[in-house]
Amino acid sequence: MKTSVIYLIVISFLFQSCYTYRTIDLKDSSLVVGKNYKIRQDAKFAKSKMVLVNDSTITVEEGSIQKEIPISEISEIKEGEFSTLKTVGLVLGIGLVVLGVVGAIAVESMGDMSFEFPADF
């Protein structure tokens, strides 16, 4: 039971992202070349980096592939912002999990050692 809880905590930390994404309106906001975006064309979002912006199309880089997308085909776009708080929390969380696992292994390896506290404090 302990190990399954530990695995669940570790997996939840590993799937965290250091970026926070917020939905933007293309009519009110301008797209910035070099920033990270999540772009939804059909049913799923694609993480991409903006390379070029025109009036009718945008060029993005997904991995090592450049793609040109007509603005009329974009159903939703989210702007990525680096989150220092999430990054620090992720690092501290992983450190605490590792410390807990090492502590649990150390306590378990002690075996049947008994601890007695003196009656008088």
* Total domains present in the chain: 1
pLDDT of residue 2: 64
Domain hosting residue 82, numbered range: 2-97
DSSP for 55-89, written as a single string: SSEEEEEETTEEEEEEGGG--EEEEEEE-HHHHHH
Report percent pLDDT > 70 for the chain: 80
Quote the pTM value.
Answer: 0.58
Report which of 10, 16, 23 is spatially closest to residue 98, judged by C-alpha positions: 10
CATH number at residue 20: 2.30.30.520
Tens of pLDDT, residue by residue over 44-81, are: 888 899 999 988 899 999 988 999 999 888 889 999 88
Is residue 114, in this structure, part of any structural domain at all?
Answer: no
Give domain status of residue 29, yes or no: yes
